[in-house]
Amino acid sequence: MRALVVDDHPLLGQALGGLLTQLFPLELHGVCASVADALELLANGSPDLVLLDVCLPGERWQDLAEPYLAGNSQGALLFVTGLDDAFEPPAELSHHVLGVIHKSASWSALIAIVGQWLQRCGAQAVPLQSCQRLPLDWLSPRELRVFEALGQGMLNREIAEHLGLSTATVDSYRKTICSKLGVSGAELVRQAVISRCLPVVSPPKSPD
């Protein structure tokens, strides 16, 4: 089975695509930053699942969903949104829509939805506990907030606005975080996404 990820934040799209293929028996059909690019991929075959950002600058998600479902009557859609207002898919798509995930929520909801869908298809997921957990206690409180924002798919300018920092400061924090955790920039985003799926581990209590 194949999945297509469409998100205007390329690193987030790649991270989510990598997470799906790591946890599930899914082949990545592609990661696209625009509807136009996704439509080109559809010409070469139809994926079983499309993970689709509903807020794509200058484009309409419908312009991808409609031709996708027209060519694949069994296709599944999973919407991702960063909009402040709640997004409700049209009722006529209800048969195809697996759910709507907000980027500020835990990605564990996305994993659960995809897992349930694949289970109905007879496939199984890899336990989340098998994913590597990075030593986040090495990060300062501000670094941790930047790391968490990366896991929500925020770009540097969005993180800067969210935390009241300059973009240069956010870039500096990202480099420091990469150094502390021993990962590349792209791997940092992937690990930030994974960390939002894993259960919180409380520090051990001191003996009385």
Residue 45: pLDDT over 60: yes
Tens-place pLDDT, residues 76-101: 999 999 866 678 899 999 999 999 99
Last residue of a domain, one of 126, 145, 169: 126
**For residue 77, which phi and psi values (nearest 5 degrees)?**
-115, 135
For 94, the token pair is 């209800």
Tens-place pLDDT, residues 137-174: 888 999 989 988 888 778 888 889 989 989 999 999 99
Last residue of a domain, one of 126, 151, 181: 126
Find the CATH number of the domain harbouring 138: 1.10.10.10
pLDDT above 90 covers a percentage of the chain that reads: 40
CB atoms within 10 A of CB 85: 6
Please indicate, yes or no, if residue 138 is contained in any of the structural domains: yes
Domains contained in the chain, number: 2
Task: Answer yes or no: do 35 and 105 share one domain.
Answer: yes
Task: Answer yes or no: do 139 and 107 share one domain.
Answer: no
Last residue of a domain, one of 126, 147, 166: 126
Task: Answer yes or no: do 120 and 138 share one domain.
Answer: no
pLDDT of residue 85: 66
Tens-place pLDDT, residues 97-122: 999 998 877 788 888 899 889 888 87
The continuous run of DSSP H or E covering 32 comes out as: strand 27-32
Instruction: Residue 88: give the domain boundaries.
Output: 2-126
Please indicate, yes or no, if residue 107 is contained in any of the structural domains: yes
pLDDT bucket at 14, cuts 50 / 70 / 90 = confident
Residue 201: pLDDT over 60: no
Find the CATH number of the domain harbouring 70: 3.40.50.2300
The DSSP code sequence of 92-141 is GGTTTEEEEEETTS-THHHHHHHHHHHHHTT--PPPGGGSPPP-GGGS-H
Q: What is the pTM of this model?
A: 0.74
